[in-house]
Structure 1
């Protein structure tokens, strides 16, 4: 039975009714536009509902289409989650590339990344909120781990490379591993995002500038 046939059935008693207009992909929409709508809806659903409580029906409602239509794009909820994670990381990679410019010293590189977090929070708060929950979700849901590990490792490697270059230039004296230094940086930043999203009394801008004060030795009094 096709999707069209299924939609022609009365779901209460199984009798046929005249077919209604399908709510699949809207007419005139390109595949790229439809994919964008699905991912934006998924981002909202995963952020607000969490992975376990999100269904294709929720995502479909936000995208203005039917649940079966989403299966033409993503075969499972885990695959859709991975694609949503890719969407968010695509917004971060240009910022990491900008921060890793050779003409910036390490302090300036870190500041670029920190202030990019503020900008992302202001322009796409659900993206930062989503990122702040990814590690927890991947720990809770085994099917998500492969998506998290592969995507997150790219970010960690990029930031770890910045620490490695800073060591080589003599800009930092820490002997700790690049992986742990990258974890410290990302964990601190994501922690602030997570706390800020659950508070009405905090400013992400102020939190980031406090970290910058620490980096520039302006936090402690002499």
Structure 2
């Protein structure tokens, strides 16, 4: 090896020294990119939900996050793609919270109480995102989505309803021995929990714990009759 080559080799850091530095820099960049994507999704849900999809520009979303508008396109190719990501992310977070609270091995009434509690607490603890996403889904926004994404979103929306319907079906009526219109009852329970944000106030007299317990009693009365629910 000539002297010039040797001097370059000796001056250069070993591969083991270089790799950790590159990995650390890459990890920081990936974390920053992931954080920006999450903030974009949150801003998109809130702005699309409050202003409407057509009235919200990519610049509006960029301003909310604190980046320049062209930078949004580093993460999402179009406003429609951002919408799809925002809606699926919000639904996924909700479904994950419900699934985490549910235990398939528990008694049906225990599962019912756990799911009602998880639903109400999610609405209260994530009120801005929950309200915005509810408004967004009620606005007919699904028509803006690609058919394949629309199909996925509808499936995600059914996930909670299917879970609750199965639980209701496992709770027979003490009078007839069969559940009363399981899917319709499940829809009523979901609507009741969804609408808690229409009147709930953190400074009000109804605490989240009290609301959860009362709503569970109401759901019981739908399934077991008022007397049985009050006695349980």
1:98 is the counterpart of 2:100: yes
> In the alignment, is the contact (CA less than 8 A) between 2:102 and 2:111 conserved in 1?
yes
Partner of 1:113: 115
Partner in structure 2 of residue 143 of structure 1: 144
Shift of 1:58: 0.9
Normalized against structure 1, the TM-score is what?
A: 0.68
Change in CA separation of 1:177 and 1:119 when aligned onto 2, cut-off 3 Å: closer
Q: Tell me what 1:48 maps to.
A: 50
Q: Which aligned runs of 4 or more in structure 1 are off by greater than 6 angstroms?
A: 218-222
Larger Rg: 2
Q: 1:27-81 CA deviation, whole Å, 9 max, x = no partner?
A: 9563212211211222332233232321111100011111122122212222212
Cα distance, 1:87 vs. partner? 2.0
Report the structure, 1 or 2, having the larger helix content.
Answer: 2
Question: Alpha-carbon deviations, 1:105-154, whole Å to 9, x = none?
Answer: 22222222222233223332112112321332226x62148545522423
The answer to whether residue 199 in structure 2 is matched with residue 196 in structure 1 is yes
Q: What is the aligned-residue RMSD (CA, Å)?
A: 3.5
Contact 1:47/1:130 (8 A) holds in 2: yes
Scaled by the length of structure 2, the TM-score of the pair is 0.65
Distance in 2 between residues matched to 1:113 and 1:161, nearest whole Å: 9
In 2, the alpha carbon distance for the partners of 1:163 and 1:105 equals 15
Q: How many residues align?
A: 192
Secondary structure of the corresponding residue to residue 210 of structure 1: helix
Partner of 1:85: 87
Structure 2 unaligned regions, length at least 5: 1-27
**SS of aligned partner of 1:30:** helix
- C-alpha contact (below 8 Å) 1:99/1:110 kept by paired residues: no
Q: 1:176 to 1:133 in 2, by over 3 A?
A: same
Q: For residue 187 of structure 2, what is the aligned residue in structure 1?
A: 183
- When residues 68 and 92 of structure 1 are mapped into structure 2, their CA distance, relative to the original with a 3 A threshold, is same
Once the two structures are TM-superposed, the CA of residue 176 in structure 1 deviates from its matched residue by: 3.0
